[in-house]
Structure formats: structure tokens, C-alpha cells
Amino acid sequence: MDMITGWPRKTREFQIFCIDSTFWNDFKFRGDDIIIATWAKSGTTWVQQIVAQFLFDGETDGLPIGDMSQWVDFRLPALDVKMPIIEAQQHRRFLKTHLPVDALVFSPDAKYIYIARDGRDCVWSMYNHHVNLNNVLYDGLNSLPVQFGPMIEPPRTNDLREYFNDWLRDDGFPFWPFWENIRSWWEIRHLPNVHFVHYQNLKNDMEREIEAIGEFLGHDVGAMTKGKWDEIVLHCTFDYMKNNATASTPMGGALWDGGAQVFVNKGTNKRWTDTLTAADIEAYETRALEELGPECAYWLATGIGA
């Protein structure tokens, strides 16, 4: 945080096999840009779908939302391919990032929506994501002229408890650090252009969360007709997104064996309760307290308190 301006200031680069924070360094913000941020597998696609409803007045049938809402720091495609696509967009832009705040160029004028989910639920969703990745992704990343750190490989185990404990022990393995991402966004949650969403709250009361996102983006939700509101809500339901997964999934699902239907998987929480032992759960909860402090750790587990 810049102590003079009060706004977050980028202090480092973050470069791994699939992410390059330098892609933001010369980014030309517009005053109404929307940035959707998460660690991963926390409801990113869901919130992209919600935001798109407001930008396009619910008329999103057939729109390739997964590609319109570009992951800016993803290393595929190359920056000189991706940026002209983003700059050519005439609609209000809604972009995504998986960066921690201190590695991100932050605009006081943009709107930021941060979504989080209990780490155990993230892992269960991430395993499905990871095990179905195909050679379109692996070959694309391996063909990059510069490699940053170890390259991701297919899961080394099909045992979800083992996969979880690898993730917990090595902080986000085999992807990117989990705790610093949550912590860095939590520290700026009170900024006027930052809105927090928790996956469990979306599950518990989706309409309330949609309304809050719309109001945050400057839309008069109360002035909508019932028909328009019902259309928006329908487009954000799991069943609708599953049935129209190709439109909401990056590259139409080409990076996954089984396609977009695999990417939009189950959308449920607490699947880990039948697999993790009491010791595993205690280890996770102890780590969360150590990394995040009690207030943030409680919010991450419950969605209460941000």
C-alpha cells in the first residue's frame, strides 16, 4: 500500500509457468474497467457470468463470455496477441486476474471484485480442473520461449487426500501460492472500489449477491422489470451455465478433455468432508489461522465478516 496515496502499489513481479504479472505493466485502463480477481476455482466463471448480465442487459445467449473476459496475466496467448483484442473491445471491459495485490498494477478508477472460497473446496474443484487438462495447454505452455520455474505436469496421484496434503504442504502446489493471494486482497477489502464475494454466499443466496454486484457496478437493480431480473438470474444458475458451458468457458473448453462440460463441474462445497481425516482438517484450519489471522480465516471458512 502506498502510504501517501492510500492505494495499493505494485512492488514485485510474479512469474510462473502460466502467469506473468508484467502483462499488466503497460496496461491502458479505462475509467469503467472491471477486474475480477481470485486465487482460482473460487467462482471466477460464475462472477464473470453475473457481471456480463449487467453489461449486456441480460442478452448473453451465445456470447463467448469466457473469451470476452480475458485472463490478462495468463501467458497464452502472447501479450502482443492478447492486448489488441482487449483494446478493441467497445463494451465495458470485464477482465480477470489470479495475481496477489502486490504483483498487480492497481487502478483507483477500476472496479475490483474479489471472490474467495474455502481452500478445501478450491482443491476439490482444482483436482477436476487439473486432471482433465490436455495437451493443448501443456504443449502451448511448453512452447513458450521463456520458462518461469517448474512446468506443471498432470497430477502425480489420483488420491484426493494425498493431492490435498501436497497442496497444503507446498502452499497451492502445483499451481501458485494460495495464502498470500487471500491475504493481500483481504488487506484492501475496505477500499471503495473493491467488492468482496464469497462462494458460499453465492450458493446460499445467489439473488442477493447478484444484486450487490450490480449495485457495486453502478446499476439500479431496483428499477429492473421482474422479467429482466428473472432472465438475469436464470442465466446465472448452475444448470444454465452447465448447459451453456461452451460460452462461459475459456477457449470454449478446448484445454480440457471432455470440453467445457468438464470445466463447469459440480459447483458444490464440502465434498472433502468424506475424505479428509480429523488431523487433515485440523492442519488446514491451523494453517489458515497462522496465515490469515482469525477474522480473515473465519470469513474464508464461512463467508461471514468481510
Confidence of residue 130 (pLDDT cuts 50, 70, 90): very high
C-alpha cell recorded at residue 235: 442465466
Distance CA 243, CA 169 (A): 36
Homologous superfamily assigned to 21-302: P-loop containing nucleotide triphosphate hydrolases (3.40.50.300)
CB count, 10 Å around CB of 199?
Answer: 25
Percent of the chain with pLDDT over 90: 85
pLDDT band at 261 (very low <50, low <70, confident <90, very high): low
Q: How confident is the model at residue 265 (pLDDT cuts 50, 70, 90)?
A: low
Q: Average pLDDT in the 236-243 region?
A: 90
C-alpha cell at 209: 449477491
CB count in 10 Å sphere of residue 162: 12
Which residues contact residue 302 at a Cβ distance below 8 angstroms, ignoring those fewer than 6 apart? 198, 200
Lowest-pLDDT choice from 20-24, 94-98, 111-115, 256-260 = 256-260
Q: pLDDT category, 306, cuts 50, 70, 90?
A: confident
pLDDT (tens digit, 9 = 90+) per residue, 35-85?
999 999 999 999 999 999 999 999 998 899 888 999 999 999 999 999 999
pLDDT value at 156 more than 90: yes
pLDDT bucket at 266, cuts 50 / 70 / 90: low
| 14-34 per-position pLDDT tens digit | 999 999 999 999 999 999 999
Distances (CA, A) of 26 to 79, 91, 181, 184: 11, 21, 22, 22
